[in-house]
Amino acid sequence: MQVYHGKSVCGGIAIGKVSVYGRPEGRVEREEKQNQEAEICRYREAAGIALEQLDGLYEKALRQVGEAEASIFEIHRMMLKDSEFQGSIEDIIHTLSVNAEYAVARTAEDLEQKFQACEDAYMRGRAADIEDISRRLLAILQGREEERIQEKEPVILLADDLAPSQTVQLDKSQVLAFVTARGSLNSHTAILARTMGIPALVGTDIPLDESLDGRPGIVDGAAGMLYIDPDRETCARMRKALEEEKEKKELFRTLIGKENLTLDGQSIQLHANIGSIKDLDMVLQNDADGIGLFRSEFLYLERNDFPTEEEQFRIYRTVAEAMGKKRAIIRTLDIGADKQCAYFGMEKEENPALGCRAIRLCLTRTEIFKTQLRALLRASAYGRLAIMYPMITSVKEVRRIREIEEEAKAELEARGLPQGHPEQGIMIETPAAAMISDLLAREVDFFSIGTNDLTQYVLALDRQNQSLDEFRDTHHPAVLRMIELTVENAHRAGIWAGICGELAADPELTGEFLAMGVDELSVAPERILPLRKAIRETDVSEYIRIR
């Protein structure tokens, strides 16, 4: 038996034959071309065909995985039409007098390197999208057929990497799971895999050898393991786990429409954390009570320039209308620290986690902030939107936010544009905010505790430094006391308090949070139903007696 390790994209277990997929090479040679205009015309014609193909993929994805995930191909269209991408290709053709294929490959390579150098994992995942777009253009320019993966029987697919366009065309009845040697957890391929419910691993330490083709294999998506030629004991264990997994899924589905009510009658709200409108279908499918955290910074991280007020308004309005009467909390942009955005032109900092990030950036670049606020205020007229501000440390900051918001409101009134009256909340993710939460509670409508950064700052441990994992204790009494203090001060002031960090989904703390009186837990959409099950099996009075 051979055992390989990868990063888990989507949990689940798959048992079947292995099929090794070898991508056609389509090698690009540099050729001297004197007629640059002819090459530019070739490129533009290829780009037009590529846009038509992406339209077809969008329609296919719309039928298979829904509108939110189909928008991946809208993003590919935007990238393909991006002026920087187009300009680079045409400039290379002009200045170097080379063939269109070489210019496309060179531009793609430069952009991929740029994305891969980003500190933010989500932005590194965009390199795969650039690769997908350039592959499509090169296939058209070279007269090759669009690559498709076709299997004649259900298999575990092994590949160096898969593009989003290949992933969405996979026949779920024929692909039990896929495992790639490369790839990112934040790539659109990974996002599609999670939506389609295909067990998947990326970054797997497996040699892509044809000798693996046809051999029996098992993928344990949750554990990030691939077994080739599994022994009898492993087969028996994984078959049993597969049956248990099926039973659990059926049980979770029966919880749709049920209340988040403990055995002794205490209720709590279960909201979802999402990064874009692509995740809305998952929120609704998993029966979330609302959106507890919409990370608006991804609107900025996915682009090469600032999103306009109109672009943001359309996205926020989509969120508001999709959620209807359910609350959707939009966090204002949290750029900085590990989420860097080149076009912001931020100075390099020795310790960006303690630098100009999140609300500090907004309060020092008020025009960027006001653009987002105007979009949010307008969108709040179409549903139950709430606005949440990150990295707060003082009452002074909250009051300055209110002043800027009043300016944004006045500007909208002057333009005669409708606006709503969204709830205003702040994230409690610094020790300073937790310690003065009694004062802050008088200024806002709700608190949402960001346990990821709160833990980092309380324990003085860099959350990006994996070598400190042995010192990282997310259940540290100091962290839990900060959370409890915040909840108590919120309730004294008559406002609600939730948790939107990773700890919200920690089953070991569910009873503890209920005993503290936490009003809301916001987690990844797929964690909603398992967490509902845990809540419905909890007797809070037992935890209160122990404390």
Would you please indicate which residues are annotated as catalytic (active-site) residues? Answer: 188, 500
Task: Determine the Cα–Cα distance for residues 357 and 349; give it in Å rounded to an integer.
Answer: 11
- State residue 278 phi and psi, 5-degree precision: -65, -20
Dig out the tokens for 216 from the structure: 């029996």
Contacts of 395 (CB under 8 A, 6+ apart): 436, 439, 440, 443
CA separation, residue 4 to residues 158, 206, 213, 217, 540 (Å): 12, 6, 15, 11, 42
Q: How many CB atoms lie within 10 A of CB 144?
A: 12
Contacts of 103 (CB under 8 A, 6+ apart): 39, 43, 88, 89, 90, 92, 93, 96
Q: How many CB atoms lie within 10 A of CB 198?
A: 22
| Three-class SS state of 134 | helix
Q: How far is C-alpha 538 from the chain's CA centre? A: 30
Nearest Cα residue to 498 out of 292, 337, 313:
292
CA separation, residue 121 to residues 159, 185, 198, 464 (Å): 22, 8, 22, 11
* Angle (nearest 5°) at CA 253 between 250 and 257: 155
Dig out the tokens for 55 from the structure: 């339209």
